[in-house]
Chain A
Amino acid sequence: DSGVTQTPKHLITATGQRVTLRCSPRSGDLSVYWYQQSLDQGLQFLIQYYNGEERAKGNILERFSAQQFPDLHSELNLSSLELGDSALYFCASSVEREGAGELFFGEGSRLTVL
């Protein structure tokens, strides 16, 4: 158990819909990262927050947005969903602001868009 909690674990929805994925980092970790892993694909970095502020952006679509709240949990919002958005979405947390510390990953949220 990494200490990172992601909900929901599984989500099935239709094209055009909007979903919200939630992540609670490990106790004491201020950094939250979001990654997308499509079928048989590697890990694509989406976005990182540190202590409530956006720190880095990766290949995140404009239809996606995220935020980190004062209690440090984070949400990833995916809107106008397309079939290609079906993927495993991981949240990871780290104590470090910048990439020196290891990332601890949640179990992922598997999104299926039909």
Chain B
Amino acid sequence: AQKVTQAQTEISVVEKEDVTLDCVYETRDTTYYLFWYKQPPSGELVFLIRRNSFDEQNEISGRYSWNFQKSTSSFNFTITASQVVDSAVYFCALSNYGQNFVFGPGTRLSVLP
């Protein structure tokens, strides 16, 4: 069975601090896809990134970066120089062919001014 764990339920940081959100997944498949979504206080779910299991290169997009490590089954998300607008719930998700999306429980990030 597939499973996504986000052990950090809530994180609070002060603006401009760096913060890393952890995501650990379980799957028996060799081909799978990993995702991160952001849910700001307004409620909508915003797609951030998709990564396939064969691409372990880290990715950077502005202040956001993702570290994918198959050896530890982790797909962690780092926000550099956090801002108040980064306050949201962040969901990690896993999917593959023949299976449905499995979302983690989410991590609530609060960035304080």
9 contacts between A and B (CB under 8 A): A33-B100, A42-B104, A45-B103, A99-B99, A100-B33, A100-B95, A105-B46, A105-B47, A107-B44
Contacts of A108 in B (CB 8 A): 43-45
Residue A49 interfacial (CB < 8 Å): no
Docked pose: A108 CA to B37 CA in angstroms: 15
Tally of A-B Cβ pairs under 8 angstroms: 59
Q: Is the interface of B mostly helix, strand, loop or mixed?
A: loop
Contacts of A106 in B (CB 8 A): 44
Band of interface residues on B? 20 to 34
Docked pose: A106 CA to B45 CA in angstroms: 8
By a beta-carbon cutoff of 8 Å, the part of chain B in contact with chain A is: 33, 35, 37, 43-47, 50, 52, 91, 95-101, 103-106
Determine which of A45, A56, A104, A107 lies in contact with B47 in the assembled complex, contact meaning CB atoms within 8 Å: A104
Count of A interface residues, CB-CB < 8 Å:
23
Cross-chain contact A43 with B100 (CB below 8 angstroms): no
Docked pose: A48 CA to B104 CA in angstroms: 19
7 more CB-based (< 8 A) A-B contacts, given A33-B101, A92-B45, A104-B47:
A42-B91, A98-B96, A98-B98, A99-B96, A100-B96, A105-B37, A108-B43
